[in-house]
Every structure is written in structure tokens, then in C-alpha cells.
């Protein structure tokens, strides 16, 4: 019976296929990883340098790409009125990331769409119209992060962010982080999003 | 034996729950299974708390907040499943290799180290919860990254423990006989452990962070875990049904080829929107769309073999959970995964309740089920290899009811979450354009709230199923007079 079995039904054939397919896929993945990482390091072609927090940024529909696209305008808009050099900007954004991890934000929110679904996505939180105007935004964000229970806008759901003991410094870091993150080229996610200062453009 | 005869002997036979008949690896496996089952109950409990907060946001607000409950819910899940897998492999290691486990003593020490570490981690999650924005919070309290929240000190402990486990597997097979299953299993464990290390570093850059984070999560559940359960399934089909080794091993290789061939580059379905280049839209969409194929193959193979062997088995509950695994894996991962895997739809469903719907059915269907099957294999042997079927002294009502309640509960939650996911994708994403206002417009829509109510109803059903399962594992076979009828192996 064994002699009549075609090669493609044999154990040894599939063993070889398994090994080659796995190795081949893995090699391609490694190659693509090198390319992707080079494009997504801060200051690469798709992820802005941390000093982007000194700039005015927005998110607009791009007619040639036919999708939404973050835009870094040629106009200063220093965070908390202070221009930061590369090192200072990195440190502020880094404090934001450490705080975001230490406070476990991602088990309520999503960042770049990953995380939990109990609270809004933060990918473009910096650009959200919920902050009213660009002028009031920084102050409102600072207040809210330090005292979320009090300043919560729950839109009738009563779902409030908990008191996480975020300090003013940490709050500034988080805000810097959100501003930087809103400039990442996310291939048009989220779609159809109207940024806070959209009317001005 | 007629049922009267069984009933008349009921009061006479009492089978103790004992480790006497177990080999060394199996004794260790029982330790792992015990902790796994306790953590499974913890997972369900904290799921209920988190689910409740959707309906009553003030419930435990500022005491045990949603993020804490959810962290315990999903972290307990990952850990209990890993415990279950380690236990399952220890369970069959001596049978499969033909020799005693080489470093059993180390295996036992590793078990206790891991269990103490897990206990501390959970206590810190619950009592300390969060830290300040410093590296030491990440090292000592929690890492704040979904599924792999365990603080860095615990990560290092986990790696050490996994190395001991890996040594035991590799060295035991080397000393005894290598089979096809042994070869696949060993290589797969190298990859599984290696991937964990990809999740063990800190970076400021969220895109780079998520790039590697998905290596751990995706390449675990859609590649290495999937192959791991393929090995476990292969062994189970031989043991439970007496399927021939040549057949299961050929299938195992086919499944490895199809699973790794689609799953490794299928990773790209998580690289659509995190800053990574546009080519991932094509690569990720294409390869991940192929991922259901091996899952179909697994269903075909297990059901076909079951048919060939006339569904004759000595452990009905274990076998039923194995079949639940085949279907659960196919529907949860294959169908529910496929539904949102193309970028054209994922743009709207990404990070909504749709994702949660898929996450629940996939993790339960693919991985909870097969672990539960092994819990039943273990208790059977501990009850002196008694018969386990539908016609036990109490008609096996507990295992049947647990099976129905757990499966119906999870399917019910999955459907409720899917409805919430449709609503959220349409209203928040498509219509409102993903603003905060849009998010809350979707969350306060009656369709969403109704879905959350139904999720809780089915969540409670799942929980009751879990309690019954626990009770059944402690009692099944106690009064069963008949020995199990062996199958040809
Ligand atoms: C047993 C195997 C699988 C398990 C346990 C599983 C589990 C999960 C979980 C838990 C998530 C959510 C991750 C998060 O929290 O961000 C997820 C996301 C996802 N899964 Fe799976 N999955 C499996 C297989 C599959 C398969 C085979 C496919 C495709 C055919 C798939 C497609 C997806 C997609 C597209 C996402 C991203 C959802 C989003 O954009 O929000 N999954 N999976
Ligand atoms: C008692 C029943 C359960 C309830 C009430 C429940 C509730 C929840 C809740 C509220 C979340 C958070 C979703 C969000 O972020 O909005 C969640 C997440 C999750 N649960 Fe459950 N759960 C239950 C059982 C299970 C079971 C049995 C499994 C799998 C074995 C499971 C796997 C998951 C996974 C993988 C996630 C993360 C999903 C994602 O990020 O997409 N849960 N669950
Ligand atoms: Fe995936």
C-alpha cells in the first residue's frame, strides 16, 4: 500500500515542505522588518522626530493618496510656549511614554487602535475637537489628566477616567506624547476624522 | 453492564483522587493544571467585574478600575493557558519519549518559582496597581502593555522557568526516542520562548513598540501556539481514538507548513495602521486571509479520524472538548479572524468591540478548550483510569452542563460583542469619523447598551459553567465502578 502512495501524500514530503515554507517566510519577514524599522524610527520617513512637538500639526484628507494624512505645518506652535531642542523634546516625550505604561492607559484606551475599548482611541487625541479650540487645548488637557474625575466629559455615559495620580510634569509628558503620536503616518487610520482646527486651514 | 447494575454498585465504589498511577511528568502536570484552573476562574471573575463596569461605570470606580480588572482578566488568561500547555506536554512527555523526564526535580522547582512569582505579580496588580512615570514602575509594578503586562523582573523569571521546561523536553526526547511530534514540538518551543524576548524591552517610540509587541502576540497565537496545540492534538488523537502515528504526523507537517506559511507573514494584518509602510496592507491582507486554511484542515482531519474510529473513546468529556477545540479554533480564529482581516474592513473595525468579539471566541475556542480536555485526561487517570462517558452514575450531568454553559456562554458573548462591534464601526468610525464625540455617540446608543447587557447575561452563564467545570473536575469518576475500556494505540 505504501508503494502506491503518491509523493505528495507522504510524511517525508510534507516535512520538507514545512521546513522550507517556514524558513522562507521567516527570511522574508526579517527582510521586511529591517525595512519597516528604518521607516518607523523617530525622524524616519513615516514617524516624525520628537521635535515635531514644536510645530503646528494637523490631519487632512490627501487627494492624491485618497486618504487622510498627518500634516506638519511650517509654523511654530511650541508646547506650553517653550521651544525644545532635540534632547529636551525626547526627554519630555519619553516621560510621556513611561507614564502611559506605568499608569496602564492601554487597558482602557487604544493607542494606534491597539489596547482596550472602554475609552476613546488616543491616536489623534491631540487633534480632537473635544478640546474646543487649539488655544484652550493645552490647559484643558493638563487639568483633565491631573483630575480626570472632576473634568470628565462623559457625553452622558458617566464613564469617567480614574484618578491615576498623574503629576503636572507627567501630564506634560503625556500631552507631548499625544502630540507627537498624532503625526505618525497611520495609512489613513482613523478615516474621516475632522481635526480641531480644520476650519482654519 | 446494565444501568441497574451500575446503580446498585454506586454506593459501594469510591475511587480516591490519587497520584499513585501517574508517572513523574504527569504528577508535575497535575500541579500545572491545578493552578491553571484556579487562574481560569480568576480570569472569569475579573472579566465579570470589567464587563459590569460597562453597564455601571461607578462600580468599583477608583478602587478596582476597569484597567486593573481587564489587566488581570487577560493576563490571567495568558498565564493559565501557558500553564495548561506546559502541563499537557509534561503529561505526555514520558509516554512519547519512552523514558523518564531527565530533570524532573528542576521541573518541580521551576513550577514553584513560577507560581510564587505569579502570585506576587497579581497581588501587586491589585494592591499597587500603577506607578509613577519611571523605569522602575515598569520593572516592579506593571509594564502597561496588553497581555504581557508582567513587570520586567517577572519576565526574566518567566524566561528562566521556560528554559528549564525546554531543557526537560529537549533532553528527555534526546535520551529517549525522537518522534515527528517531538521534533516539531521542540523547535516550536524554541520559537515560542524566543518570541517572548521580543516583548521584553522598553522604547519611547510607539510604532517600534507595537511592531515588536505584535511579534509576541500574533506570532504566538497565530503561529507557535497554533502549532503547539497541533502537536497536542496529534498526540490526543492517537491516545483518545487510536489513530495511527503515520497519519497524525503527516497531518502535523501539513498543518505546520500551512500555518507558518500563512501566519508568519499574516503578521502584517497588525501593521496596517501603526505607522508601518503601505506594503503591509497587501502582504498582511493576503497572507492573513490564507490563515483559515490550516484551521479548516485541522477540523477535517480530526472529524475524519473520529469518524474512521467510530467516535469510540474512553474519555468522553476530554474527547468532546477536543472536538470543541477543532470547531472553536476554526470559527474563532478562522471565521471571526477572517471577517475583519482585510484592510478595507479593518480600517473601520480596528480596535472596536469587533476585535473583542474575535478575541473571545478565538482564545476560548482554540486554547481554553484543549486545555480543559487535558484536565479531564488527568482526572481520569487520577481516578484509577475509570470509565468516563455520558452514562456515568450521575449521568455525567456536570460535565455535560459545564460544557454546554461554557460554550453557549462564550458564543453568546461573542455574538453580543459582534453586534456592538458592527454598531461601533458604523456609528463611531464610518459616520462620526472616530472623534471622542463619535466614540461616545456609539457607546451610548441603545444597540450598544443592549449588547453590553447581553454580554453580561452570557458572561454569567460562562461563569456558572466555569464553576461547574471546577466542581466536576474534583468529583467526576468518584463513584464510577467501571474501568476505562482501552483503545488500540
Ligand atoms: C487562535 C488564534 C487566534 C487568536 C487567539 C486571536 C486573538 C486575537 C486577539 C485577542 C486580538 C486582539 C488583540 C488586541 O487586543 O489588540 C486579535 C486581533 C486580530 N486578529 Fe486574531 N486571533 C487568532 C487568529 C486570527 C486569525 C486566523 C485571523 C485572520 C484570519 C485573525 C485576525 C485578526 C485581526 C485582523 C486582528 C486585529 C483586529 C483589530 O484591528 O483591532 N486572528 N486576535
Ligand atoms: C465571564 C465571562 C467574561 C466576561 C464578562 C468578559 C469580559 C471582558 C471584558 C469586559 C473585556 C475588555 C474588553 C474591552 O477592552 O472593552 C474582555 C477582554 C478580553 N477577554 Fe473576556 N470576558 C469573559 C470571558 C473570557 C473568556 C472565557 C476568554 C477566553 C478564554 C476571554 C478573553 C478575553 C480577551 C482575549 C480579551 C481582550 C480582547 C481584545 O483586546 O480584543 N474572556 N473580556
Ligand atoms: Fe494576528
> Could you give the CA distance from residue B403 to residue B177 in angstroms, rounded to a whole number?
36
- Output the residue whose Cα is nearest ligand 2's atom 41: B356
Question: pLDDT tens digits for B34-64?
Answer: 999 999 999 999 999 999 999 999 999 999 9
- Output the residue whose Cα is nearest ligand 1's atom 33: B337
- Output the residue whose Cα is nearest ligand 2's atom 2: B459
Contacts of B80 (CB under 8 A, 6+ apart): B35, B36, B37, B38, B39, B40, B43, B371
Buried b (16+ CB within 10 A) or exposed e, B76-90: bbbbbbbbbbbbbbb
What per-residue confidence (pLDDT) applies to A64? 96
From chain B, the residues in CB contact with A165 under 8 A are: 130, 132
pLDDT band at A2 (very low <50, low <70, confident <90, very high): low
From chain B, the residues in CB contact with A141 under 8 A are: none
Question: Regarding the domain with residue range A50-200, which homologous superfamily does it belong to in the CATH classification?
Answer: Cytochrome c-like domain (1.10.760.10)
pTM for the predicted model, two decimal places: 0.96
pLDDT band at B487 (very low <50, low <70, confident <90, very high): low
Q: If you measure CA to CA, which chain B residue comes closest to A18?
A: B257
Mean pLDDT of B240-263: 93
Cβ-defined contact of B146 to A111 (cutoff 8 Å): no
Cell of B78: 495568558
Question: pLDDT tens digits for B96-138?
Answer: 999 999 999 999 999 999 999 999 999 999 999 999 999 999 9
| A55-74 residues touching B, CB cutoff 8 A | none
Maximum C-alpha span of chain A: 82
Cell of A17: 515542505
What per-residue confidence (pLDDT) applies to B210? 98
Q: In Å, how far is B252's CA from the nearest CA of chain A?
A: 9
Residues within a 6 A CB radius of ligand 1: A 113-114; B 146, 221-222, 269, 288, 291-292, 329, 333-334, 337-338, 340-341, 346, 350-351, 355, 358-359, 362-363, 366
> Could you give the CA distance from residue A68 to residue B437 in angstroms, rounded to a whole number?
19
Integer distance in angstroms from the first to the last C-alpha of chain B? 24
Cβ-defined contact of B275 to A194 (cutoff 8 Å): no
Ligand 2 neighbour B410 (Cβ under 6 A):
yes
Q: Which of B61, B434, B439, B441 to mutate to test the interface with A (most CBs of A within 10 A)?
A: B434
What per-residue confidence (pLDDT) applies to B4? 46
Q: If you measure CA to CA, which chain A residue comes closest to B51?
A: A118
Nearest to B28 by CA among B36, B4, B238: B36
Nearest to B376 by CA among B303, B472, B465: B472
**What is the rounded average pLDDT for all residues in chain B?**
94
Whether the per-residue pLDDT at B354 is higher than 60: the answer is: yes
pLDDT band at B1 (very low <50, low <70, confident <90, very high): very low
- Break chain A down into helix, strand, coil percent, rounded to 5: 50, 10, 35
- A52 interfacial to chain B (CB closer than 8 Å): no
| ipTM associated with this complex | 0.96
Buried b (16+ CB within 10 A) or exposed e, B457-473: ebbebbbbbbebbbebb
> Could you give the CA distance from residue A176 to residue A91 in angstroms, rounded to a whole number?
10
Ligand 2 neighbour A107 (Cβ under 6 A):
no
Cell of B423: 454598531
Report how far apart, in Å, the C-alpha atoms of A147 and of each of A128, A161, A166 are: 19, 9, 8
Ligand 2 neighbour A117 (Cβ under 6 A):
yes
Query: Residues B206, B208, B214, B219: what is their CA dihedral angle, to the nearest 10 degrees?
Result: -170
Whether the per-residue pLDDT at A192 is higher than 70: the answer is: yes
Q: Which atom of ligand 2 is nearest to the CA of B460?
A: 1
What per-residue confidence (pLDDT) applies to B239? 85
Question: pLDDT tens digits for A57-91?
Answer: 999 999 999 999 999 999 999 999 999 999 999 99
> Could you give the CA distance from residue A41 to residue B206 in angstroms, rounded to a whole number?
10
Cell of B478: 468518584
Q: Which of A70, A187, A197 to mutate to test the interface with B (most CBs of B within 10 A)?
A: A187
pLDDT band at A199 (very low <50, low <70, confident <90, very high): low
- A170 interfacial to chain B (CB closer than 8 Å): yes
Mean pLDDT of B263-275: 98
Q: What percent of chain B has pLDDT over 70?
A: 97
pLDDT band at B310 (very low <50, low <70, confident <90, very high): confident
Whether the per-residue pLDDT at B488 is higher than 60: the answer is: no
Rg of chain B, C-alpha, whole Å:
23
Whether the per-residue pLDDT at A168 is higher than 70: the answer is: yes
Whether the per-residue pLDDT at B6 is higher than 60: the answer is: no
Candidate from A25, A99, A193 with C-beta closest to B265: A25
E strand map for chain A: 55-62, 67-76, 110-111, 114-115
> Could you give the CA distance from residue B41 to residue B77 in angstroms, rounded to a whole number?
10
Burial grade of A191 (CB within 10 A; 0-12, 13-18, 19 or more)? middle
Query: Near ion ligand 3, which residues have CB within 5 Å?
Result: B 218, 222
Given a contact cutoff of 8 angstroms between Cβ atoms, the answer to whether A107 and B414 are in contact is no
Contacts of B353 (CB under 8 A, 6+ apart): A117, B417, B418, B420, B421, B424, B448, B451
Question: pLDDT tens digits for A98-122?
Answer: 999 999 999 999 999 999 999 999 9
Q: In Å, how far is A16's CA from the nearest CA of chain B?
A: 9
DSSP B417-480: HHHHHHHHIIIIIIIT-S-HHHHHHHHTSHHHHHHHHHHHHHHHHHHHHHHHHHHHHHHTTTT-
> Could you give the CA distance from residue B81 to residue B32 in angstroms, rounded to a whole number?
10
> Could you give the CA distance from residue A15 to residue A20 in angstroms, rounded to a whole number?
9
pLDDT band at B489 (very low <50, low <70, confident <90, very high): very low
What per-residue confidence (pLDDT) applies to B5? 47
Question: pLDDT tens digits for A10-66?
Answer: 899 999 999 999 999 999 999 999 999 999 999 999 999 999 999 999 999 999 999
Mean pLDDT of B300-307: 87
- Please, which residues bridge with residue A70 across strands? A59
Mean pLDDT of B7-21: 76
> Could you give the CA distance from residue B437 to residue A132 in angstroms, rounded to a whole number?
12
Question: pLDDT tens digits for B361-414?
Answer: 999 999 999 999 999 999 999 999 999 998 898 999 999 999 999 999 999 999
Ligand 2 neighbour B363 (Cβ under 6 A):
yes
> Could you give the CA distance from residue B249 to residue B226 in angstroms, rounded to a whole number?
15
What per-residue confidence (pLDDT) applies to B308? 86
- Residue B21 has what DSSP assignment? T
Burial grade of A5 (CB within 10 A; 0-12, 13-18, 19 or more)? exposed
Please count the helices (runs of H) and the strands (runs of E) in chain B.
20, 0
Give B109 Cα–ligand 2 centroid separation in angstroms: 32
Whether the per-residue pLDDT at A1 is higher than 50: the answer is: no
Cell of B6: 451500575
Candidate from A47, A163, A193 with C-beta closest to B434: A193
What per-residue confidence (pLDDT) applies to A4? 77
Whether the per-residue pLDDT at B146 is higher than 80: the answer is: yes
- A132 interfacial to chain B (CB closer than 8 Å): no
Nearest to B205 by CA among A62, A50, A116, A143: A50
Contacts of A136 (CB under 8 A, 6+ apart): none
Q: If you measure CA to CA, which chain A residue comes closest to B139?
A: A102
Give B73 Cα–ligand 2 centroid separation in angstroms: 7
Alpha helices in B56-205 (DSSP H): 66-97, 104-127, 135-140, 152-175, 180-198
What per-residue confidence (pLDDT) applies to B241? 86
Whether the per-residue pLDDT at B3 is higher than 60: the answer is: no
What per-residue confidence (pLDDT) applies to B242? 87
Mark residue A163 as left, alpha or beta (left: phi above 0; alpha: psi -120 to 50; beta: remaining): beta
Amino acid at each position: 500500500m505504501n508503494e502506491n502512495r503518491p509523493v505528495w501524500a507522504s510524511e517525508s514530503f510534507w516535512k520538507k515542505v514545512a521546513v522550507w515554507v517556514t524558513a522562507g517566510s521567516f527570511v522574508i519577514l526579517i527582510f521586511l522588518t529591517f525595512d519597516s524599522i528604518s521607516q518607523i524610527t523617530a525622524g524616519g520617513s513615516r514617524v516624525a522626530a520628537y521635535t515635531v512637538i514644536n510645530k503646528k500639526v494637523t490631519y487632512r484628507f490627501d487627494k492624491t493618496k485618497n486618504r487622510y494624512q498627518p500634516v506638519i505645518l511650517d509654523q511654530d506652535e511650541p508646547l506650553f510656549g517653550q521651544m525644545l531642542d532635540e534632547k529636551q523634546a525626547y526627554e519630555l516625550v519619553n516621560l510621556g511614554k513611561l507614564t502611559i505604561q506605568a499608569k496602564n492607559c492601554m487597558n482602557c484606551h487604544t493607542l494606534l487602535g491597539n489596547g482596550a475599548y472602554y475609552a476613546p482611541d488616543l491616536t489623534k487625541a491631540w487633534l480632537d475637537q473635544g478640546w474646543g479650540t487649539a488655544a484652550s487645548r493645552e490647559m484643558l488637557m493638563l487639568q483633565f489628566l491631573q483630575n480626570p474625575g472632576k473634568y470628565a466629559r462623559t457625553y452622558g455615559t458617566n464613564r469617567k477616567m480614574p484618578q491615576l495620580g498623574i503629576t503636572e510634569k507627567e501630564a506634560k509628558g503625556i500631552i507631548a506624547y499625544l502630540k507627537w503620536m498624532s503625526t505618525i503616518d497611520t495609512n489613513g487610520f482613523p478615516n474621516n476624522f475632522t481635526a480641531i482646527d480644520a476650519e482654519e486651514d | 453492564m446494565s444501568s441497574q447494575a451500575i446503580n446498585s454498585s454506586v454506593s459501594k465504589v469510591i475511587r480516591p483522587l490519587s497520584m499513585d498511577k501517574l508517572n513523574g511528568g504527569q504528577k508535575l502536570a497535575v500541579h500545572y493544571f491545578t493552578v491553571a484552573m484556579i487562574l481560569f476562574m480568576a480570569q472569569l471573575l475579573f472579566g465579570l467585574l470589567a464587563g459590569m463596569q460597562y453597564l455601571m461605570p461607578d462600580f468599583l470606580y477608583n478602587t478596582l478600575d476597569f484597567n486593573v480588572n481587564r489587566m488581570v482578566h487577560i493576563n490571567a488568561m495568558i498565564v493559565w493557558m501557558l500553564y495548561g500547555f506546559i502541563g499537557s506536554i509534561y503529561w505526555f512527555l514520558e509516554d512519547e519519549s519512552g523514558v523518564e523526564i531527565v530533570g524532573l526535580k528542576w521541573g518541580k522547582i521551576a513550577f514553584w518559582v513560577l507560581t510564587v512569582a505569579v502570585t506576587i505579580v497579581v497581588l501587586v496588580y491589585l494592591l499597587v496597581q500603577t506607578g509613577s512615570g519611571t523605569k522602575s514602575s515598569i520593572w516592579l509594578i506593571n509594564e502597561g502593555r496588553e497581555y504581557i503586562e508582567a513587570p520586567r523582573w517577572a519576565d526574566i523569571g518567566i524566561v528562566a522557568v521556560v528554559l528549564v521546561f525546554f531543557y526537560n523536553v529537549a533532553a528527555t526526547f534526546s535520551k529517549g526516542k525522537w518522534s515527528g511530534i517531538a521534533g516539531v514540538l521542540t523547535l516550536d518551543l524554541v520559537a515560542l520562548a524566543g518570541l517572548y524576548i521580543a516583548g521584553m524591552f522598553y522604547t519611547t517610540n510607539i510604532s517600534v513598540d507595537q511592531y515588536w509587541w505584535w511579534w509576541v502576540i500574533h506570532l504566538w497565537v497565530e503561529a507557535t501556539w497554533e502549532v503547539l496545540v497541533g502537536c497536542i492534538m496529534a498526540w490526543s488523537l492517537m491516545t483518545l481514538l487510536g489513530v495511527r502515528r503515520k497519519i497524525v504526523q503527516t497531518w502535523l507537517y501539513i498543518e505546520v507548513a500551512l500555518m507558518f506559511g500563512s501566519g508568519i507573514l499574516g503578521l502584517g494584518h497588525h501593521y496596517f495602521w501603526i505607522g508601518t509602510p503601505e506594503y503591509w496592507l497587501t502582504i498582511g491582507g493576503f497572507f492573513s486571509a490564507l490563515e483559515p486554511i490550516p484551521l479548516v484542515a485541522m477540523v477535517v482531519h480530526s472529524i475524519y479520524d473520529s469518524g474512521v474510529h467510530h467516535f469510540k473513546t474512553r474519555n468522553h468529556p476530554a474527547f468532546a472538548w477536543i472536538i470543541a477545540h477543532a470547531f472553536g479554533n476554526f470559527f474563532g480564529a478562522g471565521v471571526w479572524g477572517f471577517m475583519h482581516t482585510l484592510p478595507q474592513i479593518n480600517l473601520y473595525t480596528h480596535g472596536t468591540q469587533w476585535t473583542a468579539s474575535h478575541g473571545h471566541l478565538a482564545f476560548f475556542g482554540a486554547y481554553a478548550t484543549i486545555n480543559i480536555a487535558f484536565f479531564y485526561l488527568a482526572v481520569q487517570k487520577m481516578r484509577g483510569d475509570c470509565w468516563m462517558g455520558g452514562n456515568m452514575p450521575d449521568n455525567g450531568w456536570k460535565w455535560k452542563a459545564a460544557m454546554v454553559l461554557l460554550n453557549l456562554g462564550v458564543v453568546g458573548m461573542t455574538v453580543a460583542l459582534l453586534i456592538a462591534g458592527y454598531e461601533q464601526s458604523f456609528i463611531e468610525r464610518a459616520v462620526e469619523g472616530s472623534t471622542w464625540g463619535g466614540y461616545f455617540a456609539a457607546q451610548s446608543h441603545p444597540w450598544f447598551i443592549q449588547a453590553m447587557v447581553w454580554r453580561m447575561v452570557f458572561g454569567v452563564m460562562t461563569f456558572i459553567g466555569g464553576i461547574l467545570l471546577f466542581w466536576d473536575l474534583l468529583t467526576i469518576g468518584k463513584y464510577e465502578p467501571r474501568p476505562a475500556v482501552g483503545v488500540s494505540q
